[in-house]
């Protein structure tokens, strides 16, 4: 298919009243309801989805729920020619999405064509034929691996992919579409995050032990501020590179999916989010010091080969460690918000406890 042009998206059949289900509106079903599969197929057959201006009405043979995240449910659309597409339906109201769909679409247009996903079409309307705002991409080849199944070859493959992604150079950080700032402060970043948690989830963040640990993390980050003050080269980063957002094909080549949090920022954040010494729950790969060194040195080698520019591995790893600490503290609070109210123990509370223990051990 030719590159999709958002300035000339073609017809918008999803707003045709004939594309709507009279007996049951799709908007009445959650985006991750298994019952949606047959309804999605019927709506596509009626012309509810077009890719690059071309209707998929006679091309899709099946719609299978492939995964569920915080913001999206991902449906795999199998085409008659054997290829697949990824249809991502929002699980929140469009005004409650952390990032606009159009921002992710714009980010997907910037990544290298072989990075994994390319944008095909989107519809931010709640009143479209599918009953949910949606974004359509190609299907990235490969499968994700559970955090405890990663090996050194996976870390090396990820490093190669990130080196290619980070070759996109910028002189400031911020949203893909701007505005950008020339200086990055890890202390400001963490303080902003702390304030957000206290304002939006005081039932968790205001707990005395957690609040005290937050202050300890802020103190622990102080010596790293100089490393961020010296940072002058920013890159296009994935921004949410947890274990499940990296997929590996049969030859162990790595592709990346779910670009909702893509931004212009510090390359070290992508290395920090995938895993490290502080790891628990479904998101993070537990890494020994030897494996962490492999990740950073393999990345530096790959980046040097692709760009001809040397990487200060020590500075990179210091920033990676700082990002790891910031991210794991926020994730522990997030896990606690997912734990069932009143439950003494749950999968989420256990994961949060393990993350908090790892943070406490380092601070």
What string of DSSP letters covers 346-360? -HHHHHHHHHHHHHH
Q: For the chain, how long is the longest CA-to-CA vector?
A: 62
CATH of the domain at 110: 3.30.200.20
- The terminus-to-terminus CA distance of the chain in angstroms comes to 52
Q: Are residues 133 and 152 in the same domain?
A: no
Highest mean pLDDT among 2-16, 44-58, 76-90: 76-90
Q: Are residues 181 and 330 in the same domain?
A: yes
Q: Are residues 250 and 198 in the same domain?
A: yes
| pLDDT for res 16 | 36
| pLDDT tens, residue by residue, 263-292 | 999 999 999 999 999 999 999 999 999 999
Mean per-residue pLDDT for 101-115? Answer: 89
Say yes or no to pLDDT of 22 above 60.
Answer: no
123 belongs to a structural domain: yes
198 belongs to a structural domain: yes
What string of DSSP letters covers 92-136? S-GGG-SS-HHHHHHHHHHS-TTSS--EEEEE--TTSTTSS-EEE
**Predicted confidence band of residue 25 (pLDDT cuts 50, 70, 90):** low
Say yes or no to pLDDT of 49 above 50.
Answer: yes
CATH of the domain at 357: 3.90.1200.10
1 belongs to a structural domain: no
Phi-psi domain of 239 (left: phi exceeds 0; alpha: psi -120 through 50; beta: other): left
Adjacent-strand bridge partners of 78: 62, 84
Provide the domain count of the chain.
Answer: 2
**Sign, Cα dihedral of 40, 44, 49, 51:** positive
351 belongs to a structural domain: yes
Q: Are residues 177 and 301 in the same domain?
A: yes
Of the three residues 113, 138, 163, the one that is the final residue of a domain is: 138
Q: In percent, how much of the chain has pLDDT > 90?
A: 73
Q: Are residues 74 and 210 in the same domain?
A: no
Name residues whose C-beta falls within 8 Å of residue 176's C-beta, 6 or more positions apart in sequence: 103, 106, 107, 110, 236, 262, 263, 264
Q: Are residues 122 and 199 in the same domain?
A: no
Q: In percent, how much of the chain has pLDDT > 70?
A: 92
What ranges make up the beta strands (E) of the chain? 50-51, 54-55, 60-68, 72-79, 84-90, 119-123, 134-138, 169-170, 234-237, 246-248, 254-256, 263-265, 275-276, 285-286
Say yes or no to pLDDT of 249 above 60.
Answer: yes
**Predicted confidence band of residue 184 (pLDDT cuts 50, 70, 90):** very high
Task: Identify the DSSP state of 296.
Answer: H
Distance of CA 87 to the CA centre of its chain: 16
| pLDDT for res 26 | 67
| pLDDT for res 345 | 67
* Whole-number Å distance between alpha carbons of 205 and 20: 43
Q: Count of residues for the chain? A: 363
| Ranges of H-type helices in 242-312 | 268-274, 289-307
Mean per-residue pLDDT for 158-187? Answer: 94
Say yes or no to pLDDT of 17 above 60.
Answer: no
Of the three residues 138, 159, 184, the one that is the final residue of a domain is: 138
Average per-residue pLDDT for the chain: 89
Domain range for 69: 13-138
Say yes or no to pLDDT of 20 above 60.
Answer: no
Mean per-residue pLDDT for 112-138? Answer: 90
């Amino acid at each position: 298919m030719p590159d999709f042009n958002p300035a000339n998206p073609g017809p918008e059949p999803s707003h045709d009243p004939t594309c709507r289900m009279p007996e049951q509106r799709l908007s009445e079903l959650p985006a991750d309801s298994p019952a949606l599969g047959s309804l999605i197929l019927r709506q596509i057959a009626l012309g509810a989805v077009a890719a690059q201006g071309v209707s998929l009405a006679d091309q899709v043979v099946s719609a299978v729920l492939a995964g569920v995240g915080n913001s999206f449910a991902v449906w795999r659309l199998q085409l008659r020619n054997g290829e697949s597409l990824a249809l991502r339906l929002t699980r929140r109201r469009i005004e409650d999405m952390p990032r606009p769909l159009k921002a992710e679409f714009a980010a997907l247009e910037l990544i290298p064509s072989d990075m994994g996903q390319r944008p095909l079409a989107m519809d931010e309307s709640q009143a479209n034929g599918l009953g949910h705002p949606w974004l359509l991409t190609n299907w990235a080849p490969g499968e994700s691996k559970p955090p405890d199944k990663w090996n050194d070859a996976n870390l090396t493959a990820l490093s190669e992919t990130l080196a290619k992604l980070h070759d996109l150079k910028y002189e400031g950080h911020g949203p893909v579409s701007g505005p950008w700032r020339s200086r990055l402060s890890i202390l400001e970043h963490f303080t902003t995050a702390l304030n957000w948690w206290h304002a939006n989830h005081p039932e968790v963040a205001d707990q005395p032990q957690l609040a005290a640990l937050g202050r300890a993390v802020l103190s622990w980050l102080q010596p790293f501020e100089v490393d961020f003050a010296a940072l002058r080269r920013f890159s296009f980063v994935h921004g949410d590179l947890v274990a499940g957002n990296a997929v590996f094909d049969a030859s162990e080549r790595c592709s990346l999916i779910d670009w909702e949090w893509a931004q212009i920022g510090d390359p070290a954040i992508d290395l920090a989010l995938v895993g490290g010494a502080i790891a628990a729950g479904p998101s993070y790969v537990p890494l020994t010091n030897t494996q962490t060194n492999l990740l950073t040195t393999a990345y530096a080698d790959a980046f040097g080969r692709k760009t001809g520019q040397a990487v200060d591995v020590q500075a990179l790893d210091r920033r990676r460690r700082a990002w790891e600490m910031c991210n794991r503290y926020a994730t522990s609070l997030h896990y606690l918000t997912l734990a069932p109210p009143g439950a003494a123990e749950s999968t989420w509370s256990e994961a949060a406890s393990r993350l908090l223990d790892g943070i406490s051990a380092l601070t």
